[in-house]
Amino acid sequence: MEINPVIIFGASGLGKAALDIFKSQDILVFCFLDADDELHGAEIGEVTVMGSPSNDGFLKHIGKKCDAFVAIEDHETRQRIVKMLKERRKVQPVNAIHKDTSISESAFIGYGNFINAGARLGYDVKISDHCIIHSNAVLEHDAQLEELVTVGSGAIVGAGAKVGKGALIGSGAIIAPNVIIGEGAQIGPGSLVMMEVKPNTTVFGMPAKEI
């Protein structure tokens, strides 16, 4: 099956990591699009930043000759570009999944997710849309992530744990099995979370406490 080239929205750190992921899968990246005018014309890994995310000259190819991936960490900006792609191009962003990942055949992965090298997704893991899973993160069996969740490098989401929309799990944090993380919650790096975390709260420590 022929694989379309990809246009990456966002040429920052996450965009560079996405480029590395697509290269690992031998997928051609056509160009970057970024709102920062100072980046226009720059080359990143031999791929040029060709213009802004609203450039119709490039958008018209998405869904026909190219796919799209949104490599922007800010939730509101990412949602706005995803909405634009749905409305103007009638497409969802593709997933960026590094070849050096371990993903159970029973896992469910939605649209527009970033999954970097060394990540491991266990049996019946469910990931919604537009999540960011950094290197060497582990999602044990039956863990669930709602949309726009970020899981830091080396973090562990225990079996059966549920992470709400837009939550942030810091690098090296451990979420105990069956724990519920509320929408918009933030878990500090290296924290051990043994109990439910309420929506829009920040916890830190071993064991983690609200701060």
Predicted pLDDT at 64: 86
Specify the pLDDT at position 57. 86
- Beta pairing partners, 9: 33, 70
Q: Nearest CA to 112 among 135, 126, 91, 139? A: 91
Percent of the chain predicted with pLDDT > 90: 91
Catalytic residue selected from 40, 61, 75, 141: 141
Buried b (16+ CB within 10 A) or exposed e, 130-162: bbbbbbbbbbbbbbbbbbbbbbbbbbbbbbbbb
Numbered ranges of CATH 3.40.50.20 in the chain: 6-94
The answer to which of 81-90, 103-112, 134-143, 178-187 has the lowest mean pLDDT is 81-90
Q: Is the pLDDT of residue 1 over 60?
A: no
The CATH fold assigned to 6-94 is: Rossmann fold (3.40.50)
Is 2.160.10.10 the CATH number for 95-198?
yes
Mean pLDDT confidence for 178-194: 98
Instruction: Please state the pTM of the whole predicted model.
Output: 0.95
**What pLDDT does residue 193 have?**
98
Rounded to whole angstroms, how far apart are CA atoms 69 and 114? 9
Q: How far apart are CA 79 and CA 6, in angstroms?
A: 19
pLDDT at position 2: 67
Average pLDDT over all residues of the chain = 95
What is the amino acid identity at position 197?
Answer: V
Residue 141 is a catalytic residue: yes
Residues of the chain with CATH 2.160.10.10: 95-198
Query: What does the pLDDT average to over 49-69?
Result: 90
CA-CA distances (angstroms) from residue 92 to 116, 131, 190? 20, 14, 33
